[in-house]
Structure 1
Amino acid sequence: MPKVSVVIPVYGVEKYIERCARSLFEQTLDDIEYIFVNDCTKDRSIDILNEVINDYPARKQQVRIVHHEKNKGLPFARQSGWQVATGEYIANCDSDDWVDLNLYEMMYNVAIEKNADIVVSDFISVRQDGTERICGLRNVNASKEDVIKDIMYMRTLWCIWNKLFRRDLLLQLEEPPQKYMAEDMSVTLPLYHKSDVIAYCQSACYFYNVRTDTASHQTSLEGVVKNYKEITENFAIVQRFYSKEDKKGTYKRALNNVHFFHIMSLLPYIKEKEVRQLLRECPLSVFYYMITDRKAKTTRRKKAFKLLMKRLLGLI
């Protein structure tokens, strides 16, 4: 059994796959497995990947390429990799990102030292103009409950690619996401709750490539509405999970914050009929919790109050 399996979905990344693959194949961790999932990419991504593999003969036996018969999207590509992974722990790497050469060895060592179910590391956000920003946990000594709330209140990110999951834990995911937008949310939040030990690796060794040409950066009305609907479906997975597991309502207010945060993306398009219909469908409780929650930023509470008044007056 390898120590770590790294799952890498591949679709439309011919500009980036070489940098990603080389950073993975040069890892200092020897006992590692690489699972690339070809989600029917239409460009030369797989050809380039095979060329890079040939440059690392010692890694060839550790590489597996899973081919989808049709394009299924990122969530299903990740899940295809998880299903065939054999490592003690599973990591996820996006094929347009890259990593420092000792990332997975450091994270695995922390996992063993702490007997952790999840290890989370800092990461570096790299924008197209080359500017970089280190991102990480707000409070490295926070309890599990506080970490979950920090994620729900958007104080720290729910991204999946800076985390190492014990494979047995990841395979316990009851309802895997099926939509692209915020799919990390519907994985990370349930698994954080299920985990016994979450450990921290204080090294920013994952480089997140901030691209503005992806679906998550859509600004057209059609794109924004589509993204909102996908987020809503993935959020529903989280809601169903916590409705069963959180009988005391510990996270009820924080969950409403997650919903409201994504409602905010619709506000610039509030004059559009389709957007107004979506806002009418939003439960009033979301607005109520936001305007009464002192932890929410003042500007967001004001916007929530305005939306609540419009909803009550039938203006939306």
Structure 2
Amino acid sequence: MTEPLVSIIIPVYNVEKYLDKCLTTVVFQNYDNLQIILVDDGSTDNSLSICKRWSSKDERIEVYSKKNGGLSDARNYGLRYAKGEYISFVDSDDWISLNMISKMVSVFSENDVDMVTCQFITVNNGNAKLFFHQDKKLNIIDRKGMFKLLLEDNNMTSHVWRKMYKRNLIPKDVFEVGKNFEDILAMPILVSRCKKIACMNEGLYFYRTSNDKSIVNTISLRNIEDRFYALKKFTDTIINIEPKLKKFANRALAIKEIDIYRDLIDTRMIRNRESLSLIISLREDLREKNCRVLPGIAPKLFGYSIVSSKTLSILTYELLEKQNSLIKRGIRKFKSYVIKYKKRKAFNAKYLSGNNNLFVVLGVPDYGNLGDQALKFAEYNFIHNYFPDFKIVPVGLNDGDLIRNIKRKVKNKDIIAQQAGGNIGTLYPLIHNTQLSFLSSFKKDRVFVFPQTLYFKDDNEGEQYLKNTESIYRDMQHFLLFTRDKFSYNFAQKKLPEVDATLMPDMALSLTPRITDKRRNGVILLLRNDAEKTLSVRDLQVLLKNVKRNFKNNYIQSDTHIYFDNIDDNFAKNKIYELWDKISRSQLVITDRLHGMVFAALTNTPCIVLHSKSPKIQGVYEWIKNNKFIFLEDDINELSNMIKSALATSGCHFERKNIKEKFDQMAELINKL
């Protein structure tokens, strides 16, 4: 069966810094039948040259160059040349998952729908976060349901780039030229032609928010005016199509208008004469809608003050609405006190009642790094196996207010541990400082650090962090530091000479996944998108060329991070099991994640490991290098031969005897504290 043609329209304007990354992820989709339309909108940098270079190598790429007319004009221009059954838009400073197109086309083919949407991941200087999470993998909704979601602007946004459309449902010149916030203007029109829409809850689009040239990061009166215009027209269009949503739509618009007025005050544009017509329009619109539709007492009062006078609105904002206003700070403080009080009470009842020996684990993660989550569960297993009479007391990174309660309860026999991982030093300073603060409360107790990687920058900041760390460690009366790699061990010996340091395996190597015999197929790529990412765009291209050559389209992209936080233990376990299952179904893992390598070893899956910024991968590799199905890449240009070697391995079985012996030794050392 022939794959339907998908046209991907990418407007390009002065993005030479980001364009290669974007095009790499589009060109190397695990879906081939693409028409890639690049519309250069009068770039004054090297963007057009980059487009032409790519088109000379791939006949699917079409390059069009035009006078600068803005994003809407460039998208409309691209649509005129689009021949695909389906259309997707990608902004040229963003990038997409290698699975995005194939997954969205599959949803179209398996469901009778007119549009498919996915979730997106915001990326700001290495910090990646899923915009919105829902447990359900796919929701099918009707037009009215989609309009309601768009008005809420929570789970579903108006961005055109996180969606795939049927070409025959997109009208000519759907994007209004000459206005910013073109997505808000176009989305009701695009949705109006749909009967059913499939909403995927998987993050497949990576939205870069650190591009200072992006219009969404530019604050100007023109921008604010365009936003008001777009929101008004957006709301009116929806009401015309779905009159029953009028009350809901007007309430949503009033909330947005309040936000716009806040922006005018925050930027001091409220005092400019040029803002007067916009202020009058906002006041009239809010008066017409009646501020009683606004949620909460403070927004209602603020709304009424806007309608009354500019002076009163500024005063009300300063007192009630501004995030650091006296009243808001007081309310936040009171709410925080109530939450913390309830939390302490529940924590004391669950963990600190009775006379059990306590095994306190400080800094356990509730964030979406599945490697760190696996370390936590491995620590719990270790405690159950070697210290069965102790009660585990987990303390999260945000649970500093519980430390005093724990300190009062701790006895001489109790044990305090710091969570394992790669967080000692300057790589993740907030986590490092929090953990040091926790440790400093237990200077006279039995304390150790589960196997960690140490990484301090070689500069003044790194030196200061190291001095502070050394000072706190030196004050500990009964203290052990376990490191998981030789670099960290040697560093501790040299820079922390008064600390008793011992080299031990990564805790996750003690885990034993249940692996059922499955037919293995294809390759899974577990690649970083965070601050530790060191894989260059050029190296990524070499990697993907080799993957295409060896596996055609039989590959998927995933990660050991799920990009959102505040997850409980059951959810984390399920996500780890899901990832292990994906890995155990694959012929090969290629990863730059330490725990991508570890999970491959645990599931007896051949693995090629790419280098990362921290020496931890090389160090942990030393514990498993005797398992001949794990390969450490030294030269990306030799990847083709490495893939052949990895695929030729047979009888893969993770040998853990030496690791078990080391954990036996670790338990003995802890007992002697």
User: TM-score when scaled to structure 2?
Assistant: 0.42
- Show the counterpart of 1:199: 198
Structure 1 unpaired stretches of 5+: none
Higher relative contact order (CA 8 A, sep 6+): 1
Question: 1:3-43 deviations in whole A, cap 9, x for unaligned?
Answer: 21100000000000111111111011111110000101010
Q: Could you tell me how far 1:195 is from its partner in structure 2?
A: 1.1
Q: Could you tell me how far 1:53 is from its partner in structure 2?
A: 3.8
- Alignment pair present for 1:228 and 2:224: yes
- Show the counterpart of 1:245: 241
Question: 1:37-90 deviations in whole A, cap 9, x for unaligned?
Answer: 010101001212333344xx4xx221111111x210011101111121011111
- Show the counterpart of 2:185: 186
CA gap 1:297/1:110 in 2 versus in 1, 3 angstroms = farther
Question: 1:217-237 deviations in whole A, cap 9, x for unaligned?
Answer: 224xxx2x1102222343454
Question: 1:146-183 deviations in whole A, cap 9, x for unaligned?
Answer: 4322322332321111100111112267x532234211
CA gap 1:259/1:166 in 2 versus in 1, 3 angstroms = farther
CA gap 1:239/1:143 in 2 versus in 1, 3 angstroms = closer
DSSP-derived class of the 2:182 partner: coil
CA distance in 2, matches of 1:248, 1:202: 27
- Alignment pair present for 1:127 and 2:124: yes
Q: Which amino acid aligns with 1:135?
A: F
CA distance in 2, matches of 1:99, 1:3: 18
Q: Could you tell me how far 1:292 is from its partner in structure 2?
A: 1.7
- Show the counterpart of 2:304: 305
CA distance in 2, matches of 1:110, 1:236: 33
CA distance in 1, matches of 2:194, 2:281: 34
CA distance in 2, matches of 1:71, 1:258: 30
Size of the aligned set, in residue pairs, is 303
Q: Which has the larger radius of gyration?
A: 2
- Show the counterpart of 1:281: 281
Q: Which amino acid aligns with 1:39?
A: D
What percent identity do the matched residue pairs reach? 24
- CA contact under 8 A between 1:181 and 1:216: conserved in structure 2? no
Q: Could you tell me how far 1:2 is from its partner in structure 2?
A: 4.9
Q: Could you tell me how far 1:271 is from its partner in structure 2?
A: 2.1
- Alignment pair present for 1:160 and 2:171: no
CA distance in 1, matches of 2:153, 2:238: 17
Q: Which amino acid aligns with 1:209?
A: R
- Show the counterpart of 1:217: 217
Q: Could you tell me how far 1:117 is from its partner in structure 2?
A: 1.2
- CA contact under 8 A between 1:149 and 1:254: conserved in structure 2? no
CA distance in 1, matches of 2:281, 2:275: 10
Q: Could you tell me how far 1:144 is from its partner in structure 2?
A: 4.1
- CA contact under 8 A between 1:152 and 1:254: conserved in structure 2? yes
- Alignment pair present for 1:116 and 2:113: yes
DSSP-derived class of the 1:49 partner: helix
- CA contact under 8 A between 1:152 and 1:258: conserved in structure 2? no
CA gap 1:255/1:244 in 2 versus in 1, 3 angstroms = same
CA distance in 2, matches of 1:163, 1:202: 12
- Show the counterpart of 2:63: 65
- Show the counterpart of 2:431: none
- CA contact under 8 A between 1:153 and 1:257: conserved in structure 2? no
- Show the counterpart of 2:7: 5
- CA contact under 8 A between 2:55 and 2:62: conserved in structure 1? no
Q: After alignment, is 25-34 or 280-289 more displaced?
A: 280-289
CA distance in 2, matches of 1:108, 1:297: 42
CA distance in 1, matches of 2:52, 2:172: 33
> Of residues 254, 262, 265 in structure 1, which corresponds to 2:263?
265
After TM superposition, the structure 1 = structure 2 runs for residues 35-54 of structure 1, keeping only pairs within 5 Å, are 35-54=37-56
CA gap 1:267/1:311 in 2 versus in 1, 3 angstroms = closer
> Of residues 15, 26, 29 in structure 1, which corresponds to 2:28?
26
| C-alpha RMSD of the superposition | 2.8
CA distance in 2, matches of 1:301, 1:90: 42
CA distance in 2, matches of 1:16, 1:159: 19
DSSP-derived class of the 1:120 partner: strand
Q: Which amino acid aligns with 2:110?
A: E
CA gap 1:275/1:73 in 2 versus in 1, 3 angstroms = same
CA distance in 1, matches of 2:143, 2:262: 27
User: TM-score when scaled to structure 1?
Assistant: 0.85
